[in-house]
Structure 1
C-alpha cells in the first residue's frame, strides 16, 4: 500500500476539548506519522502521513473528533511526503 500525506485544518469547537491529544492517540493507533497544533484563529492544523487507508480513516475521525468537540469543517489536501517519524502535538 502506498504512503500518502494530507495537510489541512479542522474548524469548530476544537480547542480546549482535548482535540490535539485525541488526534495523537488516534494517529498512534493507526500507526501514522505527523503532527497537530492549535492555531490562533481557533482552528486546528494537522499534517498526517502513512498508509493511504489509515490516513483516510484518521481523516474520517477528524470529522467528529473527541466527544467534547463540535467540528464544523475539515479541509484536507494531499501534500508531498515529509518523511516524519512519529506523531506529536505541537504548540
Structure 2
C-alpha cells in the first residue's frame, strides 16, 4: 500500500491491525486499551494506566515514505510499527507512575 490509499478500507484495516498488535502487548503489561474509530478520522489506540487513570494517551499509526510508524498524539514518532516491543516499552515508560 502507498500513502495514496488512505481512503480505502484496506488502509484502515492495516492501521487497526498495527494498533491491535501494540494493544495486545500493552495489555500483557497491565495497561487498559481500546481502539477508537472516530467518524472521518483515523483509528487510534487509547491506552490507560489502571493504577493512575489520569495517565492516558491516544496512539496513532501512520504510513509515510519510510514505512509505518506509531505516533504520539502530539505528533512525535514512537517507533516503527514493526517494532511493537520497542513501542510498548516507550509507551509504558511515559505512562508509568513515578
TM-score class normalised by the smaller sequence: 0.3 to 0.5
Larger RCO: Structure 1 or Structure 2 (Cα < 8 Å, ≥ 6 residues apart)? Answer: 1
The structure with the greater share of residues assigned to strand is 1
Instruction: Say which one has the larger Rg.
Output: 2
Give me the TM-score of the superposition, normalised by structure 1: 0.37
